[in-house]
Amino acid sequence: MTRLIAEQVLMIPEKIKEFDRELIEKTGCSLKELASEASGIGSAPPKPAAHPVAVIPVTAGQGTIKGFSEALHAIAAYLGFPAFITAAPDVSGLVEAYQSDATIALMADDHLYAAINLKTRRATGNDEATAKGFTTALQKMAGGLKGKAVLVIGLGPLGTAAAQALLQEGADLILYDLLREKEAALLKSCATAEQQRITTGLTLEQALARTHLIFDASPGEAFIPAAMLPTGAIISAPGLPLGLDPTAAQKFTDHLIHEPLQIGTAVMLFQALI
């Protein structure tokens, strides 16, 4: 995931209810239900109220992002976790999290955003959690993915994790990356049975002509015009910024999930409880 910027996260606390309402409209699932299902927590209902979450600001690298810790706090609190932002950042914040008896520490530097269960030592990363959450969202919007072709655009860590999650859901894959060698590398890393369910080497236009199910994990901005998208397109788009151009985003808004932090964070928190 590209480094977030303040404008992408500042409104999350005040818009979280509205976000959840829209998510329910589009997927039939609330954030809590979606994250619970995507995390694989199974039938045991998660009990967030019993697990305090410490959000630890991290000043390493390019430093803190205005509104980032507040956004994580708002997401955790919305899901029912007793959440707090540590008074001190970094190592002192981690000590504070332990001393406050927090179950989960949430923190991110410029390379990794992780949730760590301080009691069980289970650590979960944002890429895998985001891939799982947006795959579940796509599956809900599409009414299932088994045997259906999904185009994965952008094969960085998030797109690669998405490809794995989609294969697990039984989808067939069309892989696309501007760096074409990434398609071949990902194909090669898959088991033989899975390779038979994967298509590579198409242009973006050819790929979009073959399926209406799209997972946009690319960091490219506005390179997909409305005219390139098939009728009935359904798009899960955790990639930042959005690959669809503004007209396309408007046209497909009812079948488009695109947000910077909510779904991934929610899945990380539930995965950390397993």
Which residues of the chain form contacts with ligand 2YJ (CB under 6 A)? Answer: 1-4, 57-58, 64-65, 68-69, 108-113, 126-127
Cα 168 to Cα 111, 136, 198, 213, 249: the distances in Å are 26, 11, 13, 16, 28
- Best CA proximity match to 161, nearest among 128, 194, 202, 200: 128
Handedness of CA 204, 4, 108, 100 (dihedral sign): negative
The CB-of-251 to ligand 2YJ minimum distance in angstroms stands at 29
Q: Residues 6 or more apart from 193 whose CB is under 8 A from it?
A: none
Q: CA-to-CA distance for 196 and 59, rounded, in angstroms?
A: 45
The CB-of-157 to ligand 2YJ minimum distance in angstroms stands at 6
Between 126 and 265, CB nearer to ligand 2YJ = 126
Between 110 and 254, CB nearer to ligand 2YJ = 110
The CB-of-133 to ligand 2YJ minimum distance in angstroms stands at 13
The CB-of-122 to ligand 2YJ minimum distance in angstroms stands at 18
Judge contact between 180 and 207, C-beta under 8 A: no
Q: CA-to-CA distance for 102 and 51, rounded, in angstroms?
A: 7
The CB-of-243 to ligand 2YJ minimum distance in angstroms stands at 17
Between 107 and 234, CB nearer to ligand 2YJ = 107
The CB-of-59 to ligand 2YJ minimum distance in angstroms stands at 7
Between 127 and 177, CB nearer to ligand 2YJ = 127
Between 65 and 137, CB nearer to ligand 2YJ = 65
Between 160 and 200, CB nearer to ligand 2YJ = 160
Judge contact between 46 and 273, C-beta under 8 A: yes
For the CA atoms of the chain, what is the radius of gyration? 18
